[in-house]
Amino acid sequence: MSTPEPRLSDTSYVVLGLIARFGTMTSYDLKQAVAASVGYFWSFPHSQLYAEPVRLAEVGLLTEDREESGRRRRRYRLTADGRRALQNWLATPDDGRVELRDPGLLQLFFADLTGREEVVSLAEAREALHRDRLATYERIAASLYAGDRAEVGNLTLRRGLYAERAAVRFWSELRTELTEG
């Protein structure tokens, strides 16, 4: 209670969580881990994965331990406070907004300001994009399919599958309606 309650963002929790999971990480490790997992639905540039741990170390949620030799990497670990902050966050369902941020949807929202042509190619492009992502997720799922379906690692992936299927359905329906209508 002595420190003035540092404000933690979702980004902070990504960092804390990954370090909690893997024990010790450099910023580059974080970058890799993000790219291979959360990055699919929660991405940010790697520069944040350098800046954020520094902040977290400043407020005592991480320890920073810099190599003396060669690359002088900074290795981060969780402190007791860090673990507490993380548990605390995990224990209370976040009521933050869920947002489907899709520039394509924004364009569709303004479809009335443009021609049918443009909307058709928008729908085509977006359908293709989501089919791609769906395929990617399905490949990943297949490769994981030794394990239990409800295993945690698979859960966010499953969420991705559902979301992508909905997206494909939407855009392809739209395309059909526009070209056959």
Q: Which residues bind a copy of itself (CB under 8 A)?
A: 10, 13-14, 17, 20-21, 37-38, 41-43, 86-87, 89-91, 93-114, 118, 121-122, 124-126, 129-130, 150, 152-153, 155-156, 158-160, 162-163, 165-167, 169-170, 174, 177-178, 181
Query: Phi, psi at residue 7, to the nearest 5°?
Result: -80, 120
- If you compute the radius of gyration of the chain from its CA atoms, what whole number of angstroms results? 21
Nearer of residues 1 and 113 to a copy of itself, judged by Cβ? 113
Nearer of residues 74 and 126 to a copy of itself, judged by Cβ? 126
The structure tokens 């997992």 sit at 37
Which amino acid is located at 66 in the chain?
R
One symbol per residue from 81 to 120: x for binding DNA (CB under 7 A), - otherwise; what is it?
----------------------------------------
Q: What's the rounded Cα separation, in Å, for the pair 142 and 80?
A: 38
DSSP 112: G
Nearer of residues 68 and 99 to a copy of itself, judged by Cβ? 99
At closest approach, how far in Å is the CB of 36 from DNA?
Answer: 12
In sequence order, the 6+-apart residues with CB closer than 8 A to the CB of 4 are none
Contact 45, 57 (CB under 8 A): no
Which amino acid is located at 25 in the chain?
M
Binding stretches for DNA (CB under 7 A)? 7, 9-11, 26-29, 31-32, 44-48, 50-52, 54-55, 66, 70-74
